[in-house]
Structure formats: structure tokens, C-alpha cells
Structure 1
Amino acid sequence: MAEDGATAPGNNLEVRTEQLKERIYATITMVAVVVGLSAVDHLGTWKAASAVLATALGLWLATLVADQQAYRIVHRRVASGHELRRMLFVSSPLLLSAVGPLLLIAAAGIGLMSLHSALLAAAGLSVAALFVWGCVSGLRMGGGLPAALVAGAVDAAIGLAVVAVKLAGH
């Protein structure tokens, strides 16, 4: 049976909420990865790109395995069709989290910037994205600009805390 627009995963608010949660989780994870990589001496662009790609792919596959296992336990069958498409839709931001860092690493690879700068820029962009998501949530909750800026600052502070923890460990 074909899905109409009303039942497509992107039209369901709960599914979109889950997907956004994955996007924020992936962003925070990628901050930790790129900051960690920035502290590695003699790291090449291929190794950095491989680490970023492996992280995104690993998170995505782990999420799919966990989702499928949970589905099997609860429903006593393997997810397929609509359920599987929903799982893939919700988990897609885990793969997309690698795009920004990979583009910046590629820029370093062709000599537009140093790899260290590219990795720190990737972390900065991810923290900025967290700030934007916080601002959007503040606005959507009807708190106005002051509340949105506070929500954005709190989310950015979480990203900066991840940076601080990663840098303290190196």
C-alpha cells in the first residue's frame, strides 16, 4: 500500500521530534570528535576524514541496530516497510552530522586552511548550530527573543562544555 503525504515520516510531529533529537545528539557527538582530533599531533586529512566518517557511520548503524532490536522485542517481529522507513528517516541526521566537518577537512586537504583550523572551525560551527537550535526552541515556545537567546546560550554552553572536557583530557 502506498503511503500518502499524511503518513510519510516527515509529516508526523513525533517522528520529526525524534529526528531533531538525533540531530542535536549527533551535533554534540561531532563536537567531541573534531575537538579530540584537533589535539592529535601529525594527523593527516585522510585520517581525520576517516575518523569523522567512521563516527557518523558507527553512530548511525548502532542506532539502527538498537531501534531494530527494540522493535523486535516489543512487536515480536522485524521492522519493515513503514516502520523501517521511519527508523531510517529518524536516524538520518547521524550521517548528516559528518557533512560540515568533512567539507572543512576537504578545505584543509586542498590547502585553504590548516587541518587544525578546519577541525576547530567544525567544532565552532557545531556549537553555533546548537545555539541556533536553542534559539528556535525558545521562539517556538513563545518566550520571545530574550527567552530564545537564553535557550540558545544554554545549548551553546553545553557544546562549549563538551569542548572544555575534551581539551582538558588532552
Structure 2
Amino acid sequence: MSDLDAEQPSASGSPEPSVQNFELRRERLKERIYAVITMLAVVVGLAQNVHTRHSTAVLYVTGTAVGLWLATLVADMQAHRVVHQRLANRREVRNLLSVSSPLLSCTAGPLLMIALSWVGDVDLSTALWIGVGVDVASMAVWGFVGGRGMGGGVLPSCVAGLTDAAIGSGVVMVKVITGH
């Protein structure tokens, strides 16, 4: 099957399942990277503030993720209505929810580190900086996996991973340089 065949709709008029799966994976990855970059900026800001409390950190991390998620849903629903001249049906809403769910999953690392700090295992600022490092590393992993998924060899995939990590590190450096 050629690349052109893969993009053709089936007899029912909808894209083939493999094309739908590819598009869903692409959209979810895009949303995850966007969410991690945003979360990096929030967590660095919290880590830099010596007055940050555990409750404040949880509120900001959760609020940021939920706010991004809701904004994405509203934008997707409006775009759907403009393009299709109708509201999304149940299947389309489920797809929109599936695509946007990585926006919520980006809270897992920072919230886990905040919880570890809350029980006394590590200072809050240190925990938040560890969360930043984990998020940058996750960007590197996603870049590497993405490179492999595009059929790239190990070297191009490593370059993709390092590029994503550099982008995440750049966000961190800009936030650190600009300060409080």
C-alpha cells in the first residue's frame, strides 16, 4: 500500500483505521509535549519561590493542567463546529477527550514529587527541581520514541530526543533567567 492509498477514505467515507490511529497518536503526542513545556514553566516558577507551600504547588500544578485541558476542549469544540457546521457527536467528543487527556497526565510527575516532599522525604524546592528534571527527561524519551516511530535509526532518534530535551531545557533556562 502506498502512502497515497493510506490517506484515502474507505468506502464509508471515513479514513482507514490505521490513518485514524496515526492521527490520534500524532495529536496526543503534540498535546503531551505542549503540556510538558507549559508545566515546566509553572514548576520552575514554583521551585524558584522560597515561599511556595505544598498546597499552593498542588493548586498551581493541577490548575494549570485542568485549565489547559478545558481551554483545549473549548477550542476543539469551537473549531469542530466552525468546520463541520454542527456540534460534535458522541464519538467525536470521545475522540476530543482522548486527544486532550495527555494535558492532564503531565501533572503526575510534579504531583508525585510534591507528595514525597509533603511526607518529609525531600525539601519542596528540591522535589520541584527533580520534577523539572523528570519532565525534561520525558521530553527526551518522547523525542527518541517519536524518532523511532518515524522509522529513524538510533542516531537520528537520539538527535530527536536531544533536540526535545534542549527545547525543554531552553524553557527552564528562560524561566530561571527571568526570575520571579
What TM-score results when the alignment is normalised by the length of structure 1?
0.91
Q: Which has the larger radius of gyration?
A: 2
Deviation at 1:142, TM superposition (A): 3.1
1:92 matches 2:111: no
**Superposition RMSD in Å:** 2.0
Deviation digits for residues 97-127 of structure 1 (CA, Å, limit 9, x no counterpart): 1111111101111111011011111110010
1:146 matches 2:138: no
Write the mapping of 1:93-112 to structure 2, written as runs, cut at 5 A.
93-112=102-121
1:16 matches 2:16: no
Amino acid at match of 1:158: I
Divergent runs of 4+, >4 A: none
Partner residue, 1:4? none
In 2, the alpha carbon distance for the partners of 1:159 and 1:99 equals 17
Partner residue, 1:57? 66
Partner residue, 2:138? 129
Deviation at 1:64, TM superposition (A): 0.3
Deviation at 1:73, TM superposition (A): 1.1
Structure 2 spans left out of the alignment, 5+ residues: 1-15
Identity %: 52
Partner residue, 1:69? 78
Partner residue, 1:37? 46
1:83 matches 2:81: no
Work out the number of aligned pairs and report it: 165
> Relative to structure 2, which stretch is displaced further, 144-153 or 57-66?
144-153
What TM-score results when the alignment is normalised by the length of structure 2?
0.86
Structure 1 spans left out of the alignment, 5+ residues: 1-6
